[in-house]
Structure formats: C-alpha cells, structure tokens
A and B are shown apart, each in its own frame.
Chain A
C-alpha cells in the first residue's frame, strides 16, 4: 500500500473515532436549531408588558376605543385617566402604572410628539406596542374625518413594487439565491477556520511529541504533510456528508408525515429551493471550492504548525495573517451578495484567497446569468494553480520546520526556507 494512504488512514480514523467528532457532528445541527429557536424564544420573553396611563386633553382617545385595542393586543394595557390625573403624575408607581402619556389638545390634522414618562429607562422597542395602539386609533380618527372608506383605503394602500428578476436565468430567485449563497459561503468559512487550525494543531502535536523525525525516516516530509491535509480534509467531508444526510432524512420524514404544520411548510420551502436553483451545479462547485480552498489554507496552516514549537501563542501570532485572509473573505462575501456582479464580487471570486467563499456565495445567483462561465473557469484554474503553489511552498517550509526546535522563526526566515534550493 502506498505510504501516503497509510498516513491518510491514520489521520482520518483517529479523528473520526474520537468522541468529539461524533458529538460535534450530532450537536452542531442541534445547536444551530437551538440558536434559531432560542433567539426567537428570548425575543418573545424579553418583550415587556407595559401598563400605561393616558391623560388625554384632546378628547380623541376615549375609554371604549382604548379597551377595544387592549383586547386586540394584551402586550400592553393603556388606561384612560382623567379624574385622578394629578395623583398619577405625582406617583405613577403607587397608582399602579409603569408610566404615563399626556396627550395635549391636538387637532386631527396635526399630530404632536408624545412622551412616555416613567421613573426608569425604557428602550424604544418596549414602547412600540403602545405606539402602535395609539396610531391605530389615530389613523381611524383621521380616516373618519377625511371620509375615507375601505374602498378608498384599498386604493391608497396600492403600491408599486420592484422585484429583481434575472432575465438571463429565468429560474433564479434572488431571495433563495441570497440565502443559499450566504449559507454556502459561511460553511466554507467555518470549515477553513476549524479544519485549517486542526491541521496546524496536528502538525504541532507531531513536533511536540517528537515523533516527526521518526516518521520522516520512513516517508518524505511532503508525503507526511499531504497525508495529514488529505486525511483531515476527508474528516471535514465526512462531517459534511453526514449533515447533508440529516437534512435529506428530515426532508423525507417531513414529506412522509404529510401536510401537517411546520413539517410540510419546511418541505414545501425546500422543494421551492430545489427547483429555483441549479442544485447539481451548486453541489459540484461547493465540493470543488470546499476542497480547493481547504488545500490552499490547510497547507499554509500546516507550514505554520511545522515552524512553531509547542507554544500556542507563537502559533497564533504566526497564523494571524492567514486567519485574517479568511475573515476578510467573509466580509467581501457580504458585499458580493448585496451586489453579485459588482467589482468586489467579481475580483473577490477570482483572487484565490477569497474565491472559495466569495464565488460560492455568487454561484446560487445563477451560472451563466450572474457568474459568466469564463469567470467560473478562471476562478477555478487560478485556485488550482494557487493551491498547487501553496502546497509546494508549505512542503518546503514543513521539511525544514518539522525538524527544527528552538526559536520561533519569522516570516522572513520561512521565506528563506521555502526558496532554498534543496
């Protein structure tokens, strides 16, 4: 058996068999769902129910109107106060209110800014419900005064809508493309950072355990590095395929369980997504950019791991520029999604350090509609050339670094190692 396969097998099996791999594979989707639902839950919980006293001098806000609104939405309660207004103003807490609003003697043609006075600070979000209630009443009063009936109201409500439509790629749907692009770019970002640093840690482990020289007496350092990168890449791929399998299982279970509530809603959404974008192309490109991007960054991380000693801080300071490139790419991705044919998007998807993330965010918008074929092919070729270079470059550094103990080298010294003739 080829030695590189033996290395790949070890790197792969030791990681996949670890409990942390199994746990993180299962837990990540759960955590992701928990995050989405959790945020909704927290938002729901953190809504404040206000009890507001209204002191009205205009005469528009009558008790029946207010109680009708209070019934419609119990997130806040507005009570009209007239007789004991003074005692409320003196001490609204004692009177049982969170605060009070004084409406001056205004005319329906002209509103006035109102103040919610309370003896503690409230954010605008907490008064939003109160504001909405008062405006419902206020709008009704204005409509009455202007004699606008529901027909006139409908006419007034009519708006002109502008929706982006790609005429080159009829099936492209901007909304879904945006979502898929964002997810793809973000996943690649996560994989580059998480598994890239795994490569770095793995190489550092070999150095600190002093096994590096034992291994290089059997295989070439380059094989050793490549085996590690490929092995860890396969781990990432495995994790990924498992997640896709989860999604498909959920999809099929959802489909089988019929049209009940959320499940069918989700199935419907997913079907829409599957028909609105070119799924095979996206999957192919995702696979390509995921692997090529991983090779590009993992080899750099591997080289850094080989150059430093056991000190984690050394590794962090040396890998900072590389990590920065990944983070800049994710920033460029947001710009690319907002304007998928703009200069940042085009250049970002061709320059190799950002292309795995930026191009992957653009592809769901449609090929060749948004991303012309020449751009896709150019981007892929540049990336292949680049990772070939970084792997070669990293191999040179790795060969020297893996057997070096002592002082942390500078980037300048790393360059010297890389370009030394043998």
Chain B
C-alpha cells in the first residue's frame, strides 16, 4: 500500500521550473532513493512533501488522505541537507524542544530521548552544549531528533555527509531497523554506492523532471548492455567477426565481452568451448547506478539554466 503519492506536482520559482510535473509513489516500508544532480529539484520536492512549500499544481496523498501540512508534519521526520542545531542549547533540552514541536508530550518525549540516547551511547551528553560536540556526534544527535517521534515517513537528505565509516554504519543499521519496524524512508543523495546498498526503489530527477523510476534491480536490468566477464586459461586474442560476441577489454586476468544482438550467453559459451578453452568463470556485468546516473545526466549543464515558463 502506498504511504505517499505525488500526483503531477509542479513548483515554479519566477522563471525557473524547480519541479516540473513529477508523479511518484512510495510504498509503506520502502527505502526509497530520490536521486539527482545538484539543483535537480530534489530539495524543492522534499520541501513540498514536508509542507514547507505548497505545490503550484498537483497534489500529495499521504497515508491515503490528502496531505494536510499542519496535521501531518507530526508523522514526518525530516533531516535537511542544510541542518544544524542551536549551538548554545543543552543537548537534552534541544532534543526535548524539537520533540515537543513535533507534538510529543513532555513525558513521552523524555522517555523516548532517554531510550535513543542509551542506544547511541549518548547518555552522558544530556547537559552538554551542542558547541561542545564533534561534527559526527552532532550528526548522531541530529538523526535522533529526526526519528524520535516515530514518524511514518522519514526523509533524509544526504544523511551520511560528515560521518566517519563507523558512525555511517551505525546510522545505516538504524535506517534498516526503522524500515523493518514499518517506517518508510526517503533517502535523497547523489552518492550512488550508498543507494545501491540501501534502497529498494529509486527515482532519478533532473531539471525538475522525473527521468527514471523503478527498483534498483529492475533498472540495472533495463540498462544492461549484455556485458559479461569471462575467466579462462587461454588468451582470447583473435575474435573473428563470426563469433557471437566482441571483446571489449580486460579486468585483471578476465576478458570483458559484449554479446551481439540476437545471441545469448549459451551461444557464447558454446563458441568458447568449441575453441577448446577451459572456462573457470562467466559472469554478467550489470551497470552500476553510478554509470546509469552519469549516462542519463551527462550532457545536461551542471548548473541549472533558467527556462521560460509557458503557463
């Protein structure tokens, strides 16, 4: 069942189409990757989902009903890319403040904060000030304040920036835990290796438009170029034009081949066996999301150009 449905969302700023007719569906319990180059419109899209901006056109369906920013923000936890905390405020009070702004009662907030602080070994921090924390510690606190009120939808914008590998893993594990516990997570980034690791479903936006939508597996299948790696005990120097594949390169001691249109792996294997070689590995190489991302986005200017609006 869908937790969030965006229908033909549009948001223009002056002459710039920040979000130009985007529709997408986020299922309950999904870890959803929202990808795109800088300035693609990700932040604007997220700001509409979090009720910070109103869409010019289109609508947002949240949990089966029309999205009501005032009521529904309590069910959303948002960690923006431009994030921070009050430097001079004590950590415990700060977490209490943000939790109460999300609508938790005093006692409820307190017990939840205690639980999370214990989980992240932050118990002794309560009376410290944010300015005394290291950047990584601050990020952990920020994450806690984002998920504290047990939101149905958690939106994380570049959650790992500024974190060392240990803390990154800690947060990553928590993201999996939360998803397992039934939370839905929208994960916005342009770091593709993290997306492959974490997300089940991704959407790629560029210049305010959605250009890709699907599961990580499905997308990789869609973009595969029939490239395989072959490990065998003899060199493959001369490939005749009649062969069902062509040689495109080498990875370490393996050959990289592309299977020609109309042929399949079986034909290739048969051909290679006929040559009398002994094959010890034969794998399909799927494109990485990074490759797909670059391929799709390449050629578009890095900085967004102003486009005229034809309203």
Whether chain B is bound by chain A comes out as yes
Closest approach, in angstroms, between the C-beta of B37 and any C-beta of chain A?
Answer: 19
Docked-complex contact A217 and B83, CB < 8 angstroms: no
Docked-complex contact B85 and A209, CB < 8 angstroms: yes
Docked-complex contact A217 and B85, CB < 8 angstroms: no
Docked-complex contact B51 and A217, CB < 8 angstroms: yes
Residues 73-113 of chain B: 1 if any A CB is under 8 Å from the residue's CB, otherwise 0?
Answer: 10010111011111111000000011011110000000000
The 8 Å CB contact of A217, one of B70, B78, B88, B142, is B78
B2 within 8 A of A: no
* Residues in chain B near residue A205, CB distance under 8 A: 86
Docked-complex contact B101 and A210, CB < 8 angstroms: no
B229 within 8 A of A: no
Q: Give the nearest-CB partner of A213 in chain B.
A: B80
Question: With A and B bound together, what is the CA distance between A334 and B47 in angstroms?
Answer: 50
Docked-complex contact A422 and B52, CB < 8 angstroms: no
Closest approach, in angstroms, between the C-beta of B88 and any C-beta of chain A?
Answer: 7
The 8 Å CB contact of B86, one of A3, A211, A403, is A211
The 8 Å CB contact of B87, one of A209, A216, A217, is A209
Residues 187-222 of chain A: 1 if any B CB is under 8 Å from the residue's CB, otherwise 0?
Answer: 000000000000000000110011101111111110
Question: With A and B bound together, what is the CA distance between A405 and B52 in angstroms?
Answer: 16
CB interface residues, B 32-73, toward A, < 8 Å: 47, 50-52, 54, 69-70, 73
* Residues in chain A near residue B98, CB distance under 8 A: 214-215, 218
Whether A218 contacts B73 in the complex (CB less than 8 A), given A213-B52, A403-B52, comes out as yes
CB interface residues, A 210-251, toward B, < 8 Å: 210-211, 213-221
Question: With A and B bound together, what is the CA distance between A7 and B101 in angstroms?
Answer: 8
Question: With A and B bound together, what is the CA distance between A206 and B87 in angstroms?
Answer: 10
A117 within 8 A of B: no
* Residues in chain A near residue B142, CB distance under 8 A: 214
Docked-complex contact A217 and B54, CB < 8 angstroms: no
Docked-complex contact A10 and B85, CB < 8 angstroms: no
Docked-complex contact B100 and A217, CB < 8 angstroms: no
A14 within 8 A of B: yes
Residues 139-176 of chain B: 1 if any A CB is under 8 Å from the residue's CB, otherwise 0?
Answer: 00010010000000000000000000000000000000
* Residues in chain A near residue B87, CB distance under 8 A: 209
* Residues in chain B near residue A6, CB distance under 8 A: 97, 100-101
Question: With A and B bound together, what is the CA distance between A219 and B142 in angstroms?
Answer: 17
Closest approach, in angstroms, between the C-beta of B48 and any C-beta of chain A?
Answer: 12
* Residues in chain B near residue A215, CB distance under 8 A: 98, 101
Interface bin, chain B: 20 to 34
Question: With A and B bound together, what is the CA distance between A422 and B78 in angstroms?
Answer: 22
Docked-complex contact A210 and B82, CB < 8 angstroms: yes
Whether A213 contacts B76 in the complex (CB less than 8 A), given A6-B100, A218-B101, comes out as no
A1 within 8 A of B: yes
* Residues in chain B near residue A221, CB distance under 8 A: 52
Q: Give the nearest-CB partner of A209 in chain B.
A: B84
Question: With A and B bound together, what is the CA distance between A220 and B71 in angstroms?
Answer: 12
Closest approach, in angstroms, between the C-beta of A348 and any C-beta of chain B?
Answer: 40
Question: With A and B bound together, what is the CA distance between A316 and B100 in angstroms?
Answer: 34
Docked-complex contact A211 and B52, CB < 8 angstroms: no
Q: Give the nearest-CB partner of A18 in chain B.
A: B88
Question: With A and B bound together, what is the CA distance between A168 and B80 in angstroms?
Answer: 64
Question: With A and B bound together, what is the CA distance between A374 and B69 in angstroms?
Answer: 44
* Residues in chain A near residue B83, CB distance under 8 A: 210-211, 213-214
The 8 Å CB contact of B80, one of A7, A14, A209, A214, is A214
Docked-complex contact B84 and A14, CB < 8 angstroms: no
Whether A217 contacts B50 in the complex (CB less than 8 A), given A209-B84, A209-B85, A210-B84, comes out as yes
Whether A3 contacts B101 in the complex (CB less than 8 A), given A213-B52, A218-B73, A422-B54, comes out as yes
Q: In this complex, which of A10, A211, A403 has the most chain B Cβ atoms within 10 angstroms of its Cβ? A: A211
Q: Give the nearest-CB partner of B69 in chain A.
A: A220
Q: Give the nearest-CB partner of A7 in chain B.
A: B101
Question: With A and B bound together, what is the CA distance between A209 and B142 in angstroms?
Answer: 13
Question: With A and B bound together, what is the CA distance between A7 and B100 in angstroms?
Answer: 10
Whether A213 contacts B85 in the complex (CB less than 8 A), given A6-B97, A403-B52, A422-B54, comes out as no
* Residues in chain B near residue A209, CB distance under 8 A: 84-87
Question: With A and B bound together, what is the CA distance between A7 and B102 in angstroms?
Answer: 12
Closest approach, in angstroms, between the C-beta of A403 and any C-beta of chain B?
Answer: 7
Docked-complex contact B88 and A14, CB < 8 angstroms: yes
Question: With A and B bound together, what is the CA distance between A214 and B139 in angstroms?
Answer: 13
* Residues in chain A near residue B47, CB distance under 8 A: 403
Docked-complex contact B82 and A213, CB < 8 angstroms: yes
Question: With A and B bound together, what is the CA distance between A217 and B155 in angstroms?
Answer: 11
Docked-complex contact B73 and A214, CB < 8 angstroms: no
* Residues in chain B near residue A405, CB distance under 8 A: 82
Question: With A and B bound together, what is the CA distance between A215 and B80 in angstroms?
Answer: 10
Question: With A and B bound together, what is the CA distance between A215 and B101 in angstroms?
Answer: 8
Closest approach, in angstroms, between the C-beta of A19 and any C-beta of chain B?
Answer: 12
* Residues in chain A near residue B102, CB distance under 8 A: 218
Q: Give the nearest-CB partner of B54 in chain A.
A: A422
Q: Give the nearest-CB partner of B149 in chain A.
A: A218
Closest approach, in angstroms, between the C-beta of B138 and any C-beta of chain A?
Answer: 11
Question: With A and B bound together, what is the CA distance between A214 and B79 in angstroms?
Answer: 7
* Residues in chain A near residue B100, CB distance under 8 A: 1, 6
Closest approach, in angstroms, between the C-beta of A106 and any C-beta of chain B?
Answer: 75
Closest approach, in angstroms, between the C-beta of B56 and any C-beta of chain A?
Answer: 8
Q: Give the nearest-CB partner of B97 in chain A.
A: A10
Question: With A and B bound together, what is the CA distance between A216 and B78 in angstroms?
Answer: 10
Question: With A and B bound together, what is the CA distance between A97 and B85 in angstroms?
Answer: 72
CB interface residues, A 362-400, toward B, < 8 Å: none
Docked-complex contact A219 and B101, CB < 8 angstroms: yes
Question: With A and B bound together, what is the CA distance between A344 and B138 in angstroms?
Answer: 56
Closest approach, in angstroms, between the C-beta of A223 and any C-beta of chain B?
Answer: 10
* Residues in chain A near residue B88, CB distance under 8 A: 14
Question: With A and B bound together, what is the CA distance between A330 and B101 in angstroms?
Answer: 40
Residues 237-258 of chain B: 1 if any A CB is under 8 Å from the residue's CB, otherwise 0?
Answer: 0000000000000000000000
Closest approach, in angstroms, between the C-beta of B134 and any C-beta of chain A?
Answer: 16
* Residues in chain A near residue B79, CB distance under 8 A: 214
Question: With A and B bound together, what is the CA distance between A405 and B83 in angstroms?
Answer: 13
* Residues in chain A near residue B97, CB distance under 8 A: 6, 10
Docked-complex contact B82 and A14, CB < 8 angstroms: no
CB interface residues, A 387-422, toward B, < 8 Å: 403, 405, 422
Q: List 10 A-B contacts (CB under 8 A).
A: A10-B97, A209-B84, A209-B87, A211-B83, A213-B83, A214-B80, A214-B145, A217-B73, A218-B101, A405-B82
Question: Top 6 A-B pairs ranked by shortest CB distance?
Answer: A210-B84, A217-B78, A218-B101, A213-B80, A209-B84, A217-B50
